[in-house]
Structure 1
Amino acid sequence: MKTLVAFDFDHTIVDENSDTWVIRSTPDQRLPDWLKQSYQKGRWTEYMGRVLTYIGDQSVQPDHMRAVMESIPYTEGMIELLTFISDNKKDIDCIIVSDANTIFIDWILHASGVQSAIDDVFSNPASIDARGYMSVRCFHAHDCQQCPVNLCKRKVLSDFKESQAKAGVHYERICYVGDGGNDFCPINDLNEGDIAMPRKGYTLEKLLCKRRSEGSATPRAKIMPWESGNEILQELRAFIQ
């Protein structure tokens, strides 16, 4: 019986939003107002498609974009946490479920040498064409009314557990680590014995506090807020020992 750790990426593993960090690769390090104003609520991935096309139109090459993305800071303690997970793969499986994209995540993980900690990445598929333009597609379609149209993290987590169970892998506990509003749906699907880990001071923790103060239903999992990856590391180390 193993522990499954499921991470969000932006403002969780890294301390910034990778989708906004990439804007630093443009000549002016900013987007024009017409592009910023084209965003529609719940349709971030389509918006990022337009942003990436704009970046390509500025003759920004993928190598430059990659160098910029590799400079994004990790959240305190996350490198140590991922290194620990990598060293304990017989006890821990680890996935990323993120509304970023596969190329950004791959670049950033490889830059710090912690990619071996991650067993699978579930994020919006990205690719680079012959011109050097990057594009991004929605991860999947779903019928969840709470989540953005391109990604329901609860469905991803549920599908992954089901797939693993068919392969004979069952988890003693799930630790879900995130920060944002779109992390609320998957932690509601956790069971007693699982742990929901919202980042202190961020949207997910505030949402949980609000629901608790209103007397609304809260997740069955234990809630353990965190500031540093070192706190999560201590919890995982206790499980293994």
Structure 2
Amino acid sequence: MKLLMVFDFDHTVVDDNSDIWVLNCLPDQTLPASIKASYRDGHWTEYMGRVMAYIGDQGISPDRIRGVMETIPFTPGMTDLLTFIAESKSAVDCIVVSDSNTLFIDWVLKGAGLRAAVDRVFSNPASINEAGHLELRHHHSHNCHKCPVNMCKRKVLEGYLSERAEAGVEYGRVFYVGDGGNDLCPSLCLRGQDAVMPRKGFTLEKLLARLKAQKADSSAAAKVVVWSSGTEILQQLKQCLQA
């Protein structure tokens, strides 16, 4: 059976937040106070829609945005990890589940020559409108009270696993790699043979440790493997494939 790698994107595949990195397009790398003040908790995608409209109104082209996004740094070891995955497609499937957007992720991966590593990208759909501005939409709707209104990563992961099962593909193990609070929900649907891999020092690691300390019924069944670089994840992946 194949192995499935699931990656968050910001502060996981790349070593920054792509939605903040895009501000490097602006001459002074900052937004007007009115836009900053418009953010509402849990509604980041709508906020980013206003950010992208402002960037477009400054005459900044999609090509310029793409060029800036291609300069975002990858997390140490991630390019080697993704290169290995791209070379191991007979044994490893790989998806990205991210609250960024589809264009940013595609631009970054293609710019680094790593798009072939990723079979599917699940993120907020982005497109270029008739005015040449980047527009964002919610990935989906859901009823999960734990997650932002635009995306429940657990719903995404469970949907993908169901789709693949219907196609006759069962995964012997799933590795879920992430860093943030919205990566907790999907990690709780993993099985005992799977691994949730939180980035060391980031929110997901702290949330998982808190659940374990509380001996909560909702704590992850999967093995928790903390990582600091893609090199450590690559070692785990190779060990699993050799077992």
TM-score by length of structure 1 reads 0.99
Identity of aligned residues (%): 56
Q: Give, in whole Å, the separation in 2 of the partners of 1:113 and 1:137.
A: 26
Q: Give, in whole Å, the separation in 1 of the partners of 2:51 and 2:169.
A: 40
Name the residue aligned to 2:167: 167
User: Residues 213-228 of structure 1 correspond to what in structure 2 (within 5 A)?
Assistant: 213-217=213-217, 218-228=219-229
What is the CA-CA distance between 1:47 and the residue it aligns to?
Answer: 0.4
| Secondary structure at 2:131 match in 1 | coil
Mark the runs of 5 or more structure 2 residues left unpaired by the alignment: none
Q: Give, in whole Å, the separation in 2 of the partners of 1:214 and 1:220.
A: 14
Name the residue aligned to 1:139: 139
Name the residue aligned to 2:16: 16
User: Residues 184-195 of structure 1 correspond to what in structure 2 (within 5 A)?
Assistant: 184-195=184-195
Letter in 2 for 1:10: D
Q: Give, in whole Å, the separation in 2 of the partners of 1:36 and 1:177.
A: 30
Name the residue aligned to 1:153: 153
What is the CA-CA distance between 1:73 and the residue it aligns to?
Answer: 0.2
Is 1:69 the counterpart of 2:69 in the alignment? yes
Aligned partners of 1:27 and 1:58 also within 8 Å = no
Name the residue aligned to 2:98: 98
Is 1:122 the counterpart of 2:110 in the alignment? no
| Secondary structure at 1:96 match in 2 | strand
What is the CA-CA distance between 1:239 and the residue it aligns to?
Answer: 1.4
CA RMSD of superposed structures (Å) = 0.7
Q: Give, in whole Å, the separation in 2 of the partners of 1:197 and 1:21.
A: 24
Name the residue aligned to 1:231: 232
Q: Give, in whole Å, the separation in 2 of the partners of 1:82 and 1:158.
A: 23
Q: Give, in whole Å, the separation in 1 of the partners of 2:129 and 2:109.
A: 22
Q: Give, in whole Å, the separation in 2 of the partners of 1:150 and 1:129.
A: 20
User: Residues 195-206 of structure 1 correspond to what in structure 2 (within 5 A)?
Assistant: 195-206=195-206
Name the residue aligned to 1:54: 54
Letter in 1 for 2:111: A
Q: Give, in whole Å, the separation in 2 of the partners of 1:39 and 1:157.
A: 27
Name the residue aligned to 2:241: 240
Q: Give, in whole Å, the separation in 1 of the partners of 2:202 and 2:153.
A: 18
Q: Deviations over 1:131-186 (max 9, x none)?
A: 21000000000001100000000000000000001101110010000000000000
Q: Which runs of 4+ in 1 moved over 4 A?
A: none
Q: Give, in whole Å, the separation in 2 of the partners of 1:90 and 1:9.
A: 23
What is the CA-CA distance between 1:130 and the residue it aligns to?
Answer: 2.6
Q: Which of 213-222 and 125-134 deviates more?
A: 213-222
Mark the runs of 5 or more structure 1 residues left unpaired by the alignment: none
TM-score by length of structure 2 reads 0.98
Q: Give, in whole Å, the separation in 1 of the partners of 2:192 and 2:209.
A: 19
| Secondary structure at 2:5 match in 1 | strand
Q: Give, in whole Å, the separation in 2 of the partners of 1:182 and 1:188.
A: 11
